Structure formats: C-alpha cells, structure tokens
C-alpha cells in the first residue's frame, strides 16, 4: 500500500531524505516536504565563502531546486511552517507564512528535520540595523551587501563560523574585531591549542602591519549604540568599538519546540533524542540533522554537535528506515574542519580536557613539524596534538592546524578511532609519502611515536 511520507524542513537533512526515498525503487510512497523558507536544499556551509567573494552568485549554493524534486515525483511546499505535530492522529498542522492559512496534513511516517537557529543574546539595543545573524542564503546576501560598504565590523563569538567570517571580512579589507566572552576562541579545542591558533590567525592577518584584525577574549558585549544603525559596541570591560556592522555568531540552538509540544522526548541541549535508526520516542516519527542529539563514539555519551556532514548521513539513514529497510547510524566523532586564510584548523574525537573529564587515563603529545619535505618550496608548519588513553592504548582524539593538510591527518585519525585501532596498530599505518605531499615519516606518525615511547619507556 502506498505510504504517505511527510518531511518538515528543507535545509540539508530533509532534502537528503527526499532524494534517497526517490531513489528507493521498491518502496511505494508519496513524499511531501514542508519548509518555512522559500527555497530548499542549500549549502549554509558555503555562505562565508560567498560573503568573501569566492563564489560569484549566491544561487550557486543551491544544491537542488524544488522543480528538480517535483519532476521526480516529490511535492515541495514552500513558505509552509509546521506549527503542530499530532502523533496520535498521525497529522501535522501547517501555516502558510504568506496567507496565514492553516492546513491539516496526514502522514503515515513523519520526518522532523527542522535544524537549528542562531542564539540571539539579550544585549541592549540588539534591534539596531546592521546587526546580523547567519543561517540562510538571504542572511549571506544581506551581510555581503553591507560588508562591501563597510570599513569596520565586529564579530560577536569566536567559534568556527566567527572565524570563517573573520577571513571573509579580512579578505575584503574590512577592519574586524572579534569579541569572545570566554578566555579562548574555538572552545572545541584544548585551550593551549586555541591560543596557538589565535596567534597564528593574528600574525597571518596582520603580517603586512595592516592591523586589520583584532581578537578580544574574556570580555562580553553588553550594549550596542546608534540612532538607527549600529555605530558602537560596548563591552563589559568598558571598551567602546566603533563599527559599521555586527555579526552575532554566539552559537545556535535546535528548532525543537514543535517536537517538544508533541511530547517527543528531547535529550542533550534540547535536541531530539533518536535511536540509531533515527526513530524518535513517538511511533512513525523520525528525526535527522541539527535538530537531533548524537551518540559520541569515544565518550559513549549523548552530545549535540550539529554539522552538515552528520545531517546528510543521518538523512540517508532515516530514509532507509522509513522505507522499511534496516540501517543504523553508528554515531559521531565530532570531526570538523575550518580555515582562516591558509591556516587549516581541524579536530576529531575528544580533546584532552574532555577526555580527562570522562575519566580516561590521558597521555598527550603535541608536535610542530613540516607538513612536506622541508626542502619543498611550499612546505609549511603543521601542529598536531594526539590524545591517547594510556591503559587502553587507544587514540581518543586529535587536533591539528597548519598551512598544509591538517584535515588529511585528522581524517586518518578519525578512521583509526572508528576501527578501534590500538596505538601499536596505528603506528603500522602505511601512509603515502612523496616530498610534495608529506615527510618520509608523516608528522602524524611522529606525534604518535612520541606517545608510544612514553608508554613503553
């Protein structure tokens, strides 16, 4: 019998579910995707590079258009916000954001992929013009437009989105001040690694004595000032920073209010709790992407680490299970990568701080080496930190930054963690080598050897 599949949300996970279901030949279903936006399937991850000017047109960030899905048989409903889920009746209520008309929609199986939204801190005068958040393509277009007419900008928050926007503004010669409330930027990293990254960013940004990037830590923004447009940013320590625009990149929160109202169980950070088949606590309701919590494969705890890579994998898994087949999403390591200029910044698994908090018997090694044979013209420094459990002799996590391929090393570690390799097995890894790509003993293996020598000294 034909099944009616309804999907709420059209960012990354929703379209992934749609695409996978459309490719599933032996499953007879109708697919209806409802999104509150007027587009679907776009790369939010590409927005900083559009703002920077590396991508000529924001339309290029659209992965698939509604017409493409509709030609294949899915129904895409734009400007339709789901306002209520009724699990017992197997229905949802949808409000048209243009006409305000409310419609009841029945489903056999429902997928919630409502994503997340930026946190707006309660700061005095936050309603002034030219204070932006970033999530949608329109946000990106608005920010780029204003940036092109700005001399000064302030970025509130030192996470990876803040760093990517710092690069975009720096490349466009806008004097930018990043303000982070915590003592360190990039709080996902160990503090000393964050500090080294900060120093590298500052020296790269200001290498020609341009002094157009400033990073302030341990200070919070307490007010904005201006008559209509933002003109000044006031910090707790009393600093007054003149600016033409402000980006609020102070974190995100999951869009899970309609799920919570429907009695669907939430977990860490109010994200939706799902099992490894992406099923929620309510029958026939699945969830995927930024609105769900994740199982961390090293700490064996639930965490909320919202990423586009995870949203896509979860979407695929949800679709397979929705179609009546079996697939299990193992969990995540939180592997991530970002960059500032030539500096690649990446991590996977647990940091030293996290590993200690979970009670692991932690031993670490941090090394800075050349990423390629030192005589090659483009050889650059790469700094690697490995976190290992002394008793289990297993790698728990790694952090890396440098001019070369930091993510190549991090991806290698991610595979080793997933394969539950011991340090000994890891040291036998047959990594590639030629002078333009690496050193005869890859920096990653050198770093692991130092720990090995400490364990077996």
| Catalytic positions, written as ranges | 45
**One character per residue 50-89, x = contact with ligand FAD (rule: CB under 6 A):** -------------------------------xx-------
Contact flag: residue 414 with ligand FAD (CB under 6 A)? no
Distance CA 435, CA 177 (A): 39
Q: Which of 19, 47, 177, 215 binds ligand FAD (CB under 6 A)?
A: 47
Query: Taking the complex as a whole, how short is the minimal distance between the CB of residue 246 and ligand FAD, in angstroms?
Result: 16
Distance CA 135, CA 246 (A): 15
Q: Which of 6, 8, 272, 305 binds ligand FAD (CB under 6 A)?
A: 8
The two tokens of residue 386 are: 């490995």
Q: Which of 37, 244, 405, 442 binds ligand FAD (CB under 6 A)?
A: 37
Pairing type for strands 75-77 and 80-86 reads unpaired
Contact flag: residue 255 with ligand FAD (CB under 6 A)? yes
Contact flag: residue 12 with ligand FAD (CB under 6 A)? yes
Q: How many residues does the chain have?
A: 457
Contact flag: residue 332 with ligand FAD (CB under 6 A)? no
- Neighbouring CB atoms inside 10 A of 151's CB total 12
The two tokens of residue 8 are: 């709420």
**Residue 79 CB burial class (10 angstroms; 0-12, 13-18, ≥19):** middle
Distance CA 198, CA 158 (A): 10
At 386 the three-state DSSP class reads strand
Contact flag: residue 271 with ligand FAD (CB under 6 A)? no
Applying CB under 6 A, which part among 113-121, 187-195, 209-217, 388-396 lies near ligand FAD? 113-121
Distance CA 209, CA 337 (A): 28
State the Cα angle at 107 between 27 and 286, rounded to 5°. Answer: 75
Chain centroid to Cα 325, Å, comes to 29
Contact flag: residue 11 with ligand FAD (CB under 6 A)? yes
- Neighbouring CB atoms inside 10 A of 62's CB total 17
Q: Which of 5, 6, 7, 9 binds ligand FAD (CB under 6 A)?
A: 9
Contact flag: residue 335 with ligand FAD (CB under 6 A)? no
Query: Taking the complex as a whole, how short is the minimal distance between the CB of residue 10 and ligand FAD, in angstroms?
Result: 5
Contact flag: residue 34 with ligand FAD (CB under 6 A)? yes
DSSP tag of 229: B
- C-beta of 153 vs 362, nearer to ligand FAD: 153
Are the beta carbons of 222 and 234 closer than 8 angstroms?
yes
Helix runs in 172-284, H state only: 191-205, 257-261
Applying CB under 6 A, which part among 42-50, 322-330, 417-425, 436-444 lies near ligand FAD? 42-50
Query: Taking the complex as a whole, how short is the minimal distance between the CB of residue 247 and ligand FAD, in angstroms?
Result: 10
Query: Taking the complex as a whole, how short is the minimal distance between the CB of residue 173 and ligand FAD, in angstroms?
Result: 21
Query: Taking the complex as a whole, how short is the minimal distance between the CB of residue 275 and ligand FAD, in angstroms?
Result: 18
- C-beta of 235 vs 255, nearer to ligand FAD: 255
Give the distance between the most distant pair of CA atoms in the chain: 73
Chain centroid to Cα 65, Å, comes to 23
Total residues at the site for ligand FAD (CB under 6 A)? 33
Query: Taking the complex as a whole, how short is the minimal distance between the CB of residue 108 and ligand FAD, in angstroms?
Result: 19
Query: Taking the complex as a whole, how short is the minimal distance between the CB of residue 387 and ligand FAD, in angstroms?
Result: 22
**Residue 133 CB burial class (10 angstroms; 0-12, 13-18, ≥19):** buried
Taking the CA atoms of residue 163, residue 166, residue 172 and residue 174 in that order, the dihedral angle to the nearest 10 degrees is: 180
Contact flag: residue 158 with ligand FAD (CB under 6 A)? no
Q: Which of 66, 87, 159, 306 binds ligand FAD (CB under 6 A)?
A: 306
Taking the CA atoms of residue 34, residue 39, residue 42 and residue 44 in that order, the dihedral angle to the nearest 10 degrees is: -100
Contact flag: residue 162 with ligand FAD (CB under 6 A)? no
Nearest in space to 245 (alpha carbons), one of 142, 154, 378: 154
Contact flag: residue 116 with ligand FAD (CB under 6 A)? yes
Contact flag: residue 44 with ligand FAD (CB under 6 A)? yes
The two tokens of residue 326 are: 């079996």
Contact flag: residue 36 with ligand FAD (CB under 6 A)? yes
Contact flag: residue 407 with ligand FAD (CB under 6 A)? no
Distance CA 170, CA 316 (A): 37
Contact flag: residue 114 with ligand FAD (CB under 6 A)? yes
- C-beta of 289 vs 403, nearer to ligand FAD: 289
- C-beta of 112 vs 448, nearer to ligand FAD: 112
Q: Which residues bind ligand FAD (CB under 6 A)?
A: 8-14, 34-37, 44-45, 47-48, 81-82, 113-116, 134-135, 161, 255, 258, 289-290, 306-309, 311
């Amino acid at each position: 019998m034909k099944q009616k599949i309804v999907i709420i949300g059209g960012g990354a996970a929703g379209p992934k579910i749609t695409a996978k279901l459309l490719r599933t030949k032996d499953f007879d279903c109708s697919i209806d995707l409802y999104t509150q936006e007027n587009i679907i399937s776009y790369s939010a991850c590409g927005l900083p590079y559009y703002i920077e000017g590396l991508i000529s047109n924001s339309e290029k960030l659209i992965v698939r258009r509604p017409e493409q899905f509709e030609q294949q048989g899915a129904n895409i409903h734009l400007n339709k916000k789901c306002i209520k889920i009724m699990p017992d009746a197997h229905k949802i209520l949808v409000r048209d954001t243009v006409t305000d008309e409310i419609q009841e929609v029945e489903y056999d199986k429902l997928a919630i992929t409502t994503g997340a939204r930026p946190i707006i801190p309660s700061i005095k005068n936050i309603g002034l013009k030219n204070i932006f958040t970033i999530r949608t393509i329109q946000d990106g277009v608005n920010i780029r437009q204003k940036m092109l007419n700005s001399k000064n900008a302030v970025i509130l928050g030192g996470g990876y989105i803040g760093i990517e926007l710092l690069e975009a503004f720096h490349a466009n010669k806008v004097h930018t001040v990043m303000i982070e409330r915590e003592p360190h930027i990039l709080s996902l990293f160990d503090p000393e690694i964050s500090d080294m990254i900060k120093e590298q960013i500052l020296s790269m940004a200001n290498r020609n004595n341009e002094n157009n990037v400033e990073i302030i830590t341990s200070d919070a923004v307490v007010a904005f000032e201006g008559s209509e447009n933002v003109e000044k940013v006031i910090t707790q320590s009393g600093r007054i920073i003149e600016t033409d625009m402000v980006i609020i990149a102070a974190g995100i929160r999951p869009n899970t209010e309609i799920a919570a109202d429907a009695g669907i169980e939430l977990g860490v950070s109010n994200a939706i709790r799902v099992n490894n088949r992406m099923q929620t606590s309510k029958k026939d309701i699945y969830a995927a992407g930024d609105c769900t919590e994740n199982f961390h494969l090293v700490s064996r705890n639930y965490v909320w680490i919202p990423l586009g890579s995870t949203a896509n994998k979860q979407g695929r898994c949800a679709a397979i299970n929705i179609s009546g087949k079996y697939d299990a999403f193992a969990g995540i390591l939180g592997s991530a990568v970002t960059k500032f200029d030539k500096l690649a910044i990446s991590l996977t698994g647990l940091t030293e701080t996290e590993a200690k908090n979970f009670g692991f018997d932690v031993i670490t090694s941090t090394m800075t080496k050349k990423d390629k044979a030192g005589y090659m013209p483009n050889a650059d420094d790469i700094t690697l930190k490995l976190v290992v459990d002394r008793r289990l002799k297993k790698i728990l996590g790694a952090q890396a930054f440098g001019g070369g391929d930091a993510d190549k090393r991090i991806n290698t570690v991610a595979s080793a963690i997933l394969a539950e390799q011991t340090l000994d097995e890891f040291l036998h890894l047959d990594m590639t080598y030629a002078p333009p790509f690496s050193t005869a003993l890859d920096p990653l293996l050198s770093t692991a050897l130092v720990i090995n020598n400490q364990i077996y000294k």
